Amino acid sequence: MLTYLKGSADKQDRSRYAVAYAAQKPWLLNATVEENITFGSPFNKQRYKAVTDACSLQPDIDLLPFGDQTEIGERGINLSGGQRQRICVARALYQNTSLVFLDDPFSALDIHLSDHLMQEGILKFLKDDKRTLVLVTHKLQYLPHADWIIAMKDGTVLREGTLKDIQNNDVELYEHWKTLMNRQDQELEKDMEADQTTLERKTLRRAMYPRESKAQLEDEDEEEEEEEEEDDSMSTVMRLRTKMPWKTCWRYLTSGGFLLLLMMIISKLLKHSVIVAIDYWLAQWTSRNQNQTQTQTFCSVDGSIEDSKNCYIAVFSALSAAGIVLCLVTSLSVEWMGLMAAKNLHHNLLNKIILGPIRFFDTTPLGLILNRFSADTNIIDQHIPPTLESLTRSTLLCLSAIGMISYATPFFLLALMPIGIAFYFIQKYFRVASKDLQELDDSTQLPLLCHFSETAEGLTTIRAFRFVLEDFSLNVC
């Protein structure tokens, strides 16, 4: 119903019926606290301070390393549920709109914060601005403050009117509400014994200052497990992507199956052995034509010149046919192994994502997950198999060429040492440039995917703020 009402308001004139909306599920940008609250509106220091005080955000902001200029991460992964909810409510209060929609803003707040938000944020701040509020809540103790009440059940309107009208016309419903309010009051009294707000801020301080909190909280809670410091910044993620340990390479090769890996290695070695044999046989054949007395092979012993020529042709044809067959087998084995490796890696990745804990999705940017299933999967499917084929072919050709030249001209080994040193520094320089280019490519792709994912997730909120968000979208792009 709230979505329908918001959509109806959106269809009216924007400037007159602009709306502010705080969803039940908090949605935050991967930006600073100030940018999440102002959300593209002009910054007004006095209004900003009034909003943060009304939502009791100032103590939480003081705990952040850079205050309200601290980036809180995608979906507010550094904050608790109540802190994320209060930032979303502060965003709705800050906007200078005539209509405000709050979808169950008290669900993640304790009794202290709920009362403070109701008194300072709704009854005082919004009332002073003379703004219309549509509030969806299960907190029945706030019913006396409502000008008009709509009671719903199973998606239909059960009763509407003022609290006095409902008391006079539906006594049974009113008595039921009184019973629920008394029960909620008893539960709230129990919750007051455990200060949830203090616990949230303590958790926030631990997340922002892990080393300091470890030293300060040892005496307070000795049984609590030590948490490892996690660095979820985008730059660290992109820097880790440019590293390629040997363990990862071995994991990819074995993902295609040991049988296919063995087949690829044997076929590669046989193919290049045949290629070397063809070159050697051609060298023997040409040297025999130049000087028949110097070179003796089984084709030039006890036979005529014509028989010797036919023998050379037959051996050359057999080696060429074997080379063609081995090239086909090598290409098929590489592609087949790449296909099986891509299939197994994608299957394992999908299983890990499906069976992953909820905290993984709360602390991992959705754009990073999308990048694994899109760009990274495309690299595994289309780029790695031909790259592996080219790498093995070039390596074996280089080794075979060095071996043949060294066998024919041993003095080549003396020049091989400086050439090898020169190539070592060349490839070292190239790898640094390649890593920088890979990091640059990731720096353009990952933020774009993260921005797309967070936009898709907060589409309802963006549509509600569309009049305010137009200038903000230009800044993001």
pLDDT at site 47: 92
Domain ranges of the chain: 2-225, 236-408
Q: Which amino acid is at 255?
A: S
CB 209 within 8 A of CB 190: no
Q: End-to-end alpha-carbon separation of the chain, Å?
A: 33
Q: Do residues 52 and 120 lie in contact, with contact meaning Cβ atoms separated by under 8 Å? A: no
SS3 assignment, position 105: coil
> How confident is the model at residue 433, as a pLDDT?
82
Identify the pLDDT of residue 151: 86
Lookup: tokens for 43:
């910054």
Q: 55-105: per-residue pLDDT in tens?
A: 989 888 888 888 888 887 666 666 878 888 899 999 999 988 888 999 989
pLDDT of 18 reads 65
In CATH terms, 2-225 corresponds, of 1.20.1090.10, 3.30.530.20, 3.40.640.10, 3.40.50.300, to 3.40.50.300
Burial of 341 (0-12, 13-18, 19+ CB in 10 A): buried
Q: Running DSSP on this structure, what letter comes out for residue 236?
A: H
Can you tell me the distance from the alpha carbon of 89 to that of 136, in angstroms, rounded to the nearest whole number? 13
List of residues 6+ apart from 406 with CB closer than 8 A: 412, 413, 416
Q: What angle do CA 148, 152, 156 make, to 5 degrees?
A: 120
Total-model pTM = 0.60
* CA pair distance 404, 395, nearest whole angstrom: 14
**Three-state DSSP class for 364?**
coil
CB 312 within 8 A of CB 299: yes
Residue 10 · residue 464 · CB < 8 Å = yes
Collect all residues with Cβ–Cβ distance below 8 Å to 35 and sequence separation of at least 6: 29
Of 321, 323, 338, 431, residue with least CA distance to 390: 338
Residue type, 253: L
The pLDDT score that the predictor gives to residue 184 is: 64
Tokens 């012993």 found at: 301
Q: What is the pLDDT along the chain (477 residues), one digit of tens a residue?
A: 555 555 555 554 444 456 889 888 888 887 888 988 998 888 999 999 999 999 989 888 888 888 888 887 666 666 878 888 899 999 999 988 888 999 989 888 888 888 889 889 998 998 888 888 999 988 888 888 888 888 888 878 888 888 888 888 888 888 888 887 777 666 665 555 545 555 555 555 555 544 444 444 444 444 444 334 444 444 555 555 556 677 888 888 888 888 888 888 898 889 888 888 888 888 777 777 655 544 455 565 555 666 677 888 888 889 889 989 988 998 888 889 989 999 999 999 899 889 888 777 766 777 778 878 888 888 888 888 888 888 888 888 888 888 878 887 888 888 888 888 898 888 888 888 887 887 777 667 777 777 777 777 788 888 777 644 444 443 444
